[in-house]
A and B are shown apart, each in its own frame.
Chain A
Amino acid sequence: MSITTYELNHLDHLEAEAIHIFREVAAEFEHPCLMFSGGKDSIVMLHLAAKAFWPARLPFPVMHVDTGHNFPEVLAFRDQRVQELEARLVIASVQKSIDEGRVVEETGPRASRNRLQTTTLLDAIEEHRFDALFGGARRDEEKARAKERVYSFRDDFGQWDPKNQRPELWSLYNGRIRQGEHIRVFPISNWTELDIWQYIARENVEIPHVYFAHERPVFSRDGMWLADSEFVTRTEEEVVVTRKVRYRTVGDMSCTGAVESEAETLEQIIEEVSATRITERGATRADDRVSEAAMEDRKKEGYF
């Protein structure tokens, strides 16, 4: 007698879980939306969403909260993907929030638009009456995220209350909300950085070139390599040098650091990620270095 074992490998398992979540939200909410940053996690999210509804198009728009401080090739990549998927793109612009006086631009060498994004995001949610927003956050990224539900409830002010989250049992998600409230939904909660790379390699998902090692003019700040760009003011000590680097995360250019790397292929990246001793946010995000609870505090205010 032959015994078939019905087992899924870990990537199939994670993929199935994510697809289930995408479909559940599409079925239960009126105005869902997928938040797309151009980073690898949101690229994987788009890929998963396309799989979930195939052969139909995405039943929701894609939103980019645009700080105006983007890697140009990431923007081009965004537009190309959206076109291929025949998806609708909503752009929420931080520059517009500044021009309209909703937020005030920070000044000085450490100015960043990272925090300003929250207002732009919450305004866009209100304007478009979004009731569910897919985000590509993963629990392995950061200790506050490690605590967050797959369906993360936000009140009228977009706030997260980590001390009073709804219980989340089995895969029975409670999507009931009142008008003005919304849910942030995290389909790839259980993925690690390595899972993301292995999946990108397995699925042949296209990603922007900034993720691969390349020569770039950079300067050192807080032990990170920041790209020399029009969006950052350097101090006199911060000298520009050329280094072979790649990005582990891609966000706002003013606060995303690059790591020195020789990894030019996906296989080499996977090897590098398997061996790394530093977390991806630890290596690359200035925004988390403000304080021990920087992420928790930003999330409470309504950040991604």
Chain B
Amino acid sequence: MEFLRFATAGSVDDGKSTLIGRLLYDTKSIFQDQMESIEATSVQMGNDYTNLALLTDGLRAEREQGITIDVAYRYFATPKRKFIIADTPGHTQYTRNMVTGASTADVALVLVDARHGVVEQSRRHAFLASLLRIPHLVVCVNKMDLIDYDEKAFTAVKEEFRSFAMKLDVPDLTFIPVSALHGDNVVERSINMPWYEGSSLLHHLEEVHIASDRNHIDARFPVQYVIRPQSDEHHDYRGYAGTVAGGVFKPGDEVMVLPSGFTSTVSSIDSFDGPVSEAFGPMAVTMRLADDIDVSRGDMICRPNNQPTSSQDLQAMVCWMSETFSLAPRMKLALKHTTRSSRVMVADLQYRIDVNTLHREENPESLTLNEIGRVSLRSTQPLFFDEYRRNRNTGAFILVDETTNATVAAGIIVGSGT
């Protein structure tokens, strides 16, 4: 069975956690003891009904404040698919946790409260989802029960969102009117909205086509770890372990290793279970080469006629995540990209994006918490990358503060050069 990973998004209180709770409840994915526990907590908290959001809001502080603070991961399966859910917080302060949950998602569910329409945080999250290139975006217009399941209100939100999304790069956009609280159009089609002709949310998640979202063209193998058994039996064994980051590798393939530029042939692809005839993403394998060349962690194995960009200068969009200091030109940071670590200097901060209008503010002084902007980075070492839009694995990086070791930015490569 295939996995589908999806993440919730949208403003505070628009009903993300309630929707996930409802989805789990109506698919019978909740265990009896979990249900009893949230029933008891709901009574204790003085709720009139069982608060399904408690299924994901599991931290003490979240329950005290009635908000989501950090991502909760949940799992369920239907006969068609297995699902990994990341329920993320809507609160602006915790945007970085939303990015954490969204970075690995195939589908983003953006919730919008039908009464309030598209607000700044809905726009920010939709923009982040498009920046992260989550290929499928589902806008759940929620709390339809509070506006008498009114079609006109749904259409208004839909038009408002669509006009904003036109400025974004969203390959697949779907709208579903729902009531997370009552379950309308969550698992079953709602009888309260006969005017809606689309599928329920679950049905949509079961059917959405994701197999073609991975890059199986550009062969990329970042060397993660060199396996050299210190045993008599495997005395001369030297294997390059890693996870395929793009394309397909087969024994016999002619390959090139970066940065050295040496070429060789894949002599075998090994695994504990025996030789592998074809390795593709995200398989974790061990590759052996026919020639004895110097290869170490951080190197990139690719094909001589299909190489990633190799450069010390990159152009990127970054989402800044530090609350203690801001990103500014000339700042130095640690960078992690594939299996390669480097140091970078912010050579230039070209613009900051206003998430409401998507307008570019040229040459800002800095980026503060949760701001998104375009930077040029200069790396102490060459990096081997593709544009993020072409390959999420070789186009993404993180920035880390060298004093506190905090992860301070998510980066998306848009090009090379200065």
- Our pick among A23, A167, A171 for the contact of B407 (Cβ within 8 Å) is A167
How many Å lie between the Cα of A37 and that of B72 in the bound state? 26
> With contacts A10-B82, A16-B283, A177-B405 known, is A279 near B33, CB below 8 A?
yes
Task: Give chain A residues whose Cβ lies under 8 Å from the Cβ of B99.
Answer: 167, 169
- Our pick among B31, B33, B407 for the contact of A174 (Cβ within 8 Å) is B407
> With contacts A7-B2, A279-B34 known, is A169 near B100, CB below 8 A?
yes
How many Å lie between the Cα of A134 and that of B94 in the bound state? 27
Taking CB atoms and an 8 Å cut-off, the chain A residues in 6-43 that contact chain B are 6-10, 12-13, 15-17, 19-20, 23-24, 26-27
**Interface residues contributed by chain B, number (CB under 8 Å):** 73
Known: A54-B286, A146-B58. 12 other contacts (CB 8 A): A8-B282, A9-B1, A12-B283, A20-B243, A27-B225, A27-B339, A52-B284, A140-B75, A168-B407, A170-B396, A192-B75, A293-B59
20 contacts between A and B (CB under 8 A): A9-B2, A13-B3, A16-B283, A20-B282, A20-B284, A23-B241, A23-B242, A52-B284, A144-B59, A146-B72, A166-B407, A167-B321, A167-B410, A169-B410, A171-B243, A277-B31, A279-B31, A292-B41, A296-B59, A296-B60
> With contacts A279-B33, A282-B31 known, is A162 near B216, CB below 8 A?
no
A278 touches B297 (CB 8 A): no
B211 interface residue (CB < 8 Å to A): yes
Task: Look across to chain B and name the residue whose beta carbon is closest to the beta carbon of A138.
Answer: B75
Interface string of B204-243 (1 = CB under 8 A from A): 0000000100101000000011011111011001000111
Give me the interface of A with B, judged by CB distance under 8 Å.
5-10, 12-13, 15-17, 19-20, 23-24, 26-27, 50-57, 139-140, 142-144, 146-147, 149, 162-163, 165-172, 174, 176-178, 189-190, 192, 276-279, 282-283, 292-293, 296
Task: Give chain B residues whose Cβ lies under 8 Å from the Cβ of A277.
Answer: 31-32
A178 touches B405 (CB 8 A): yes
B284 touches A19 (CB 8 A): yes
B262 interface residue (CB < 8 Å to A): no
Task: Give chain B residues whose Cβ lies under 8 Å from the Cβ of A142.
Answer: 58
A147 touches B71 (CB 8 A): yes
A56 touches B227 (CB 8 A): yes
Task: Give chain B residues whose Cβ lies under 8 Å from the Cβ of A192.
Answer: 75
Taking CB atoms and an 8 Å cut-off, the chain B residues in 263-300 that contact chain A are 270-273, 280-284, 286, 297
Task: Give chain B residues whose Cβ lies under 8 Å from the Cβ of A24.
Answer: 224-225, 339
- Our pick among A56, A144, A165, A276 for the contact of B234 (Cβ within 8 Å) is A56
How many Å lie between the Cα of A73 and that of B263 in the bound state? 52
A-B CB proximity, top 8 nearest: A143-B58, A282-B33, A56-B229, A19-B284, A176-B405, A51-B272, A54-B272, A6-B280
Task: Look across to chain B and name the residue whose beta carbon is closest to the beta carbon of A194.
Answer: B77
- Our pick among B58, B227, B400 for the contact of A176 (Cβ within 8 Å) is B400
B271 touches A54 (CB 8 A): yes
> With contacts A53-B227, A176-B334 known, is A169 near B103, CB below 8 A?
yes
Taking CB atoms and an 8 Å cut-off, the chain B residues in 35-70 that contact chain A are 37, 41, 55-56, 58-61, 69-70
Interface string of B111-154 (1 = CB under 8 A from A): 00000000000000000000000000000000000000000000
How many Å lie between the Cα of A143 and that of B241 in the bound state? 34
B398 interface residue (CB < 8 Å to A): yes
Task: Look across to chain A and name the residue whose beta carbon is closest to the beta carbon of B398.
Answer: A172
- Nearest CB of chain B from residue A92's CB, rounded to whole Å: 27
B96 interface residue (CB < 8 Å to A): yes
Task: Look across to chain A and name the residue whose beta carbon is closest to the beta carbon of B81.
Answer: A10
Task: Give chain B residues whose Cβ lies under 8 Å from the Cβ of A171.
Answer: 104, 243
Task: Give chain B residues whose Cβ lies under 8 Å from the Cβ of A53.
Answer: 227, 241
A190 touches B84 (CB 8 A): yes
Residue from the set A12, A172, A283 with the largest chain B CB neighbour count within 10 Å: A172
- Our pick among A55, A149, A168, A283 for the contact of B227 (Cβ within 8 Å) is A55
How many Å lie between the Cα of A168 and that of B410 in the bound state? 9
B397 interface residue (CB < 8 Å to A): yes
> With contacts A52-B241, A147-B71 known, is A10 near B3, CB below 8 A?
yes
- Our pick among A52, A139, A283, A296 for the contact of B73 (Cβ within 8 Å) is A139
Task: Give chain A residues whose Cβ lies under 8 Å from the Cβ of B234.
Answer: 55-56
> With contacts A5-B211, A172-B398, A282-B31 known, is A16 near B75, CB below 8 A?
no
How many Å lie between the Cα of A54 and that of B281 in the bound state? 20
How many Å lie between the Cα of A48 and that of B35 in the bound state? 33
A170 touches B336 (CB 8 A): no
Task: Look across to chain B and name the residue whose beta carbon is closest to the beta carbon of A27.
Answer: B225
Task: Look across to chain A and name the residue whose beta carbon is closest to the beta carbon of B334.
Answer: A176
How many Å lie between the Cα of A50 and that of B37 in the bound state? 39
B390 interface residue (CB < 8 Å to A): no
B34 touches A146 (CB 8 A): no
- Nearest CB of chain A from residue B385's CB, rounded to whole Å: 13
Task: Give chain B residues whose Cβ lies under 8 Å from the Cβ of A6.
Answer: 214, 216, 248, 280-281
How many Å lie between the Cα of A52 and that of B406 in the bound state? 28
A190 touches B229 (CB 8 A): no
B34 touches A282 (CB 8 A): yes
B284 touches A26 (CB 8 A): no
Task: Give chain A residues whose Cβ lies under 8 Å from the Cβ of B103.
Answer: 169-170
B74 interface residue (CB < 8 Å to A): yes
- Our pick among A23, A55, A144, A282 for the contact of B58 (Cβ within 8 Å) is A144
Task: Give chain A residues whose Cβ lies under 8 Å from the Cβ of B82.
Answer: 10
How many Å lie between the Cα of A142 and that of B227 in the bound state? 36
Task: Give chain A residues whose Cβ lies under 8 Å from the Cβ of B75.
Answer: 139-140, 190, 192
- Nearest CB of chain A from residue B174's CB, rounded to whole Å: 23
Task: Look across to chain B and name the residue whose beta carbon is closest to the beta carbon of A189.
Answer: B73
Residue from the set B71, B234, B237, B407 with the largest chain A CB neighbour count within 10 Å: B407
B392 interface residue (CB < 8 Å to A): yes
Task: Look across to chain A and name the residue whose beta carbon is closest to the beta carbon of B411.
Answer: A169
> With contacts A143-B58, A169-B100, A170-B392 known, is A16 near B72, CB below 8 A?
no
- Our pick among A7, A20, A177 for the contact of B211 (Cβ within 8 Å) is A7
A56 touches B228 (CB 8 A): yes
B8 interface residue (CB < 8 Å to A): no
Task: Look across to chain A and name the residue whose beta carbon is closest to the beta carbon of B243.
Answer: A20
A167 touches B60 (CB 8 A): no
Taking CB atoms and an 8 Å cut-off, the chain B residues in 342-361 that contact chain A are none
Task: Look across to chain A and name the residue whose beta carbon is closest to the beta carbon of B58.
Answer: A143
- Nearest CB of chain A from residue B78's CB, rounded to whole Å: 13
B97 interface residue (CB < 8 Å to A): yes
How many Å lie between the Cα of A9 and that of B77 in the bound state? 13
How many Å lie between the Cα of A276 and that of B231 in the bound state? 46
